[in-house]
Amino acid sequence: MIEHLKVLVVDDDRRMVKTICDILKVKGYTALPAYSGEEALQKVREDKPDCVLMDIKMDGIDGVEATKMIKAISPSLPVVLMSAYATEEQTNEAKKQGAYTVLTKPIDVQQVLSFLSLIRKEESILVVDDDPAFSRTLRDILQASGYNVETEADPEKVLGHMERNYKLVVLLDLKLGSVNGLDILKAIRARYPGKPVVLVTGYRETMASSIETGLQIGAYACLYKPFAIEELTGIIEEISFNKLKSLLGEPSKR
């Protein structure tokens, strides 16, 4: 987990910048102030923030143009724009240049904090598998990428994990000893309908029917052992991206 997420706050209204920075600092973030698009670009190069929160309407380089230039420097850097009166054309152009969304001023601070919490990878990934070596290896790899990871081999304890804290995604083996993973999937879907569950199996052919049923029930995807870790992290990043968009009121794509 990133200990002190750096958020670059950009606005030519200095009072607005100070207010947002003060709130972020109280919540444990490192807030970097900037008062123009030009200064924002400099700080992206020098300070390498983890997220940019920026006003659209500024003298000189405005927020939309700054977003385009920021994305040229750091393509994966999340950029969220703000405006008291953005036109539909500006909003569409901002998204075209790579901004997640355009928030209406005064911004919903709690919405922004939830967004930053997800960027900080505070939500856990739950690995449900009865192979301890596989679970341990997967946990170590994902933790090295900054994720919080929990593992569970007992199917009866899966829902208990989810009640204790929110899970970004559940990685669920379809064959858990004598227990069919589909039963666990159904229990998760019944209590947490929107929770992304990625099925995992080493029996692609013999479990074909269960895989099809799982996807029909609502599993997000299915991975086949042995799978490339890049394939898994790509799915996790897609799930995270969709949730980030959803938190900001944008429709997700799947």
- The mean pLDDT value of the chain amounts to 89
Higher pLDDT, 249 or 70: 70
For residue 252, pLDDT over 70 is answered with no
Higher pLDDT, 54 or 240: 54
Mean pLDDT computed over 81-98: 88
**Beta pairing class for 167-173 and 197-201:** parallel
Q: For domain 6-120, give the fold.
A: Rossmann fold (3.40.50)
User: Residue 167: its pLDDT value, please?
Assistant: 74
Question: So where are the chain's domains?
Answer: 6-120, 124-245
User: Residue 1: its pLDDT value, please?
Assistant: 38
Round to whole Å and give the CA distance between 24 and 92.
28
Higher pLDDT, 12 or 119: 12
Name the most confidently modeled range: 32-36, 78-82, 138-142, 149-153: 32-36
Confidence band of 84 (pLDDT split at 50, 70, 90): confident
Round to whole Å and give the CA distance between 23 and 197.
34
Q: What is the DSSP string of 162-217?
A: HHHS-EEEEEEESEETTEEHHHHHHHHHHH-TT--EEEEES-TTTTHHHHHHHHHH
For residue 140, pLDDT over 70 is answered with yes
Determine the length of the chain. Answer: 254
User: Residue 126: its pLDDT value, please?
Assistant: 94
Q: Are 102 and 81 in contact (CB under 8 A)?
A: yes
Confidence band of 2 (pLDDT split at 50, 70, 90): very low
pLDDT tens column, 204-237: 999 999 999 999 999 999 999 988 889 998 999 8
Q: For domain 124-245, give the fold.
A: Rossmann fold (3.40.50)
For residue 243, pLDDT over 50 is answered with yes
User: Residue 135: its pLDDT value, please?
Assistant: 94
Report how far apart, in Å, the C-alpha atoms of 24 and of each of 32, 74, 240 are: 10, 22, 21
Cα atoms in the Cβ-side hemisphere of radius 13 Å centred on 188: 30
What are the DSSP E strand ranges found in the chain?
A: 6-10, 30-34, 51-55, 79-83, 102-104, 124-128, 148-152, 167-173, 175-176, 179-180, 197-201, 221-224
Mean pLDDT computed over 99-123: 84
The region, left, alpha or beta by phi > 0 then psi within -120 to 50, assigned to residue 104 is beta
Q: Are 6-120 and 124-245 in the same CATH fold?
A: yes
Apex 158 CA angle, 154 and 160, nearest 5: 120
Q: Are 252 and 243 in contact (CB under 8 A)?
A: yes
**Beta pairing class for 51-55 and 167-173:** unpaired
For residue 254, pLDDT over 80 is answered with no
For residue 10, pLDDT over 50 is answered with yes
